[in-house]
Structure 1
């Protein structure tokens, strides 16, 4: 009887725990959304927690109306798209090549890739390498150094090795070359895995602020996450938006519309977070399937 009571209490405890965890995750997001939709001077008084007290879109007008923020947004979008497509292509080609067990020097290549995954040269050698490649203060510093991921390559390689060999052999007997096998067999069967790894890669590119902070000094090449990091450390708007006509117009709008630096920060956070959140519903089916397949075959 006591055991039955314990079993009956567990679902209640589990449900309460999950609700508390969900609340702890969703509340900060709801708070930032409420502050971003509230007049800045009114929000500064406190008391805005889950719902805006003085509703307004002026914070977003300030954020989206500034040339520097729009340029940073475009840099982030371009970086995410090109970085994800290029990373998937390079990693898939490497995984496909190393999946062939008769590849000459395969063990040495796998050992070399594994070594780079386990041991890192450090920030200074990496910066020197980027500098010697001429990528400092260049848009391509966001793309080229991060095209290949050893971890993603091993996950893809294990998945490709799980494809039935009879299927590949039958295609080769029919005259299919390795490129045709990759295009017509491997890629269609790997769509769930590619969607999962592509989503991980896209989220990393979208959220990365480190590269823009350390490898780029030109403000016009800064992505939105690096701009947000600068904004969070700023004391006033002019510190990160510069002194130009657009900034003066932004400051005048802030003064007339009761916009504060904190409300602009919250609006910038929402603008940078919402787009990547909108991707999940469209890729959720492939994402879950790809993660499960990778965990079983890995």
Structure 2
């Protein structure tokens, strides 16, 4: 049995999904379609510009010396070889340097997140006395710093020379990361914290049970910033680390490139030495790979944490 109706059909009788589809179709004008196509082409080209250098680095590190000598840009080597990686990994201290960088990165990131989050939470409270002065002093360091020599003298007087702590403590709190996290904490409604205090939470309890669970996006973003900085530690290690046993991976790989270039110039010292170009590419890839592995796990927090944390100044 079918039911027929006569007369015009009102908008209320049309399902909301159908109405939305019709509205979206009416909005797809030729100009909007053209813009979508151009936008997709531009974003695809931009993504290729970002990805192709990494592919070139990996392909060059796997290419043969003859291909590197004849080709300036390689995306797929004709013949694969692992000589560059075998040469780098044959260095007995490579794994020790990786361990040093891992310790500095993991430990430094945890310490920096703890100190930055506690400081940002305290200075996000309007009732804190001296809040404006402390915030001004922190932001002031973003524009002016003591410089290399005063910082070195401070590290030396603290007895941190030739210690892994010299790579962590002087940069434990970054002013830019602090401002982002403080702004994120300021955006959290105060009513949530007040309700927790009414239930008997202390200030640290409010921070641990209420604020931190709501700030995972910001914390993951700031943690990525800190991790990248600690992993790429280079200048601080040159200034403060004297023992080769405490070199991070960046310093050791630099030494490998220098030694490989010198050995490549004097071919009588060894039987087979990979070309310096392939070693440089392999070094770049090894130094970049850990961050490339970690980034996908925090990428979904990255944009949200960075944008929400920068809404308020």
Q: Which TM-score band applies after superposition, normalised by the shorter structure? A: 0.7 to 0.9
Match of 2:116 among 87, 91, 95: 91
Structure 2 residue matching 1:44: 3-state secondary structure? helix
CA apart distance, 1:82: 0.8
Q: Provide the residue aligned with 1:242 in structure 2.
A: none
- In 2, Cα distance between equivalents of 1:143 and 1:79: 7
Q: Provide the residue aligned with 1:269 in structure 2.
A: 284
- In 2, Cα distance between equivalents of 1:262 and 1:53: 17
TM-score, normalising length: structure 1: 0.84
Equivalent pair of 2:100/2:246 in contact (CA under 8 Å):
yes
1:20 matches 2:45:
yes
Equivalent pair of 1:207/1:225 in contact (CA under 8 Å):
yes
CA apart distance, 1:94: 0.6
1:134 matches 2:149:
no
Instruction: Give 1:69-88 correspondences, 5 Å limit.
Output: 69-88=94-113
- Shift in CA distance, 104/295, structure 1 to aligned 2, threshold 3 Å: closer
TM-score, normalising length: structure 2: 0.81
Instruction: Give 1:1-298 correspondences, 5 Å limit.
Output: 10-40=35-65, 42-46=67-71, 49-234=74-259, 236=261, 259-298=274-313
**Which shifted more, 263-272 or 55-64?**
55-64
**Which shifted more, 202-211 or 35-44?**
35-44
- In 1, Cα distance between equivalents of 2:300 and 2:182: 22
- In 2, Cα distance between equivalents of 1:136 and 1:129: 10
Tell me the alpha carbon deviations over residues 108-134 of structure 1, each in whole angstroms, 9 at most, x when there is no partner: 222222222322111111111111112
RMSD: 2.7
Q: Provide the residue aligned with 1:243 in structure 2.
A: none
- Shift in CA distance, 10/280, structure 1 to aligned 2, threshold 3 Å: same
Higher relative contact order (CA 8 A, sep 6+): 1
CA apart distance, 1:188: 0.5
- In 1, Cα distance between equivalents of 2:270 and 2:78: 19
CA apart distance, 1:83: 1.0
- Shift in CA distance, 7/265, structure 1 to aligned 2, threshold 3 Å: same
- In 1, Cα distance between equivalents of 2:133 and 2:30: 58
Q: Which runs of 5+ in 2 are unaligned?
A: 1-28
- In 1, Cα distance between equivalents of 2:37 and 2:271: 51
**Which shifted more, 48-57 or 156-165?**
48-57
Structure 2 residue matching 1:79: 3-state secondary structure? helix
Tell me the alpha carbon deviations over residues 34-57 of structure 1, each in whole angstroms, 9 at most, x when there is no partner: 121123455334366111222122
Q: Provide the residue aligned with 1:248 in structure 2.
A: none
Structure 2 residue matching 1:148: 3-state secondary structure? coil
Structure with max Cα Rg: 2
- In 1, Cα distance between equivalents of 2:130 and 2:204: 21
- Shift in CA distance, 291/236, structure 1 to aligned 2, threshold 3 Å: same
Aligned length: 283
**Which shifted more, 54-63 or 10-19?**
10-19
**Which shifted more, 140-149 or 46-55?**
46-55
CA apart distance, 1:59: 2.1
Structure 1 residue matching 2:127: 3-state secondary structure? coil
CA apart distance, 1:216: 2.2
Q: Provide the residue aligned with 2:4 in structure 1.
A: none
Tell me the alpha carbon deviations over residues 141-161 of structure 1, each in whole angstroms, 9 at most, x when there is no partner: 111111112222222122112
Equivalent pair of 1:41/1:259 in contact (CA under 8 Å):
no
Equivalent pair of 1:41/1:260 in contact (CA under 8 Å):
no
- In 2, Cα distance between equivalents of 1:259 and 1:200: 34
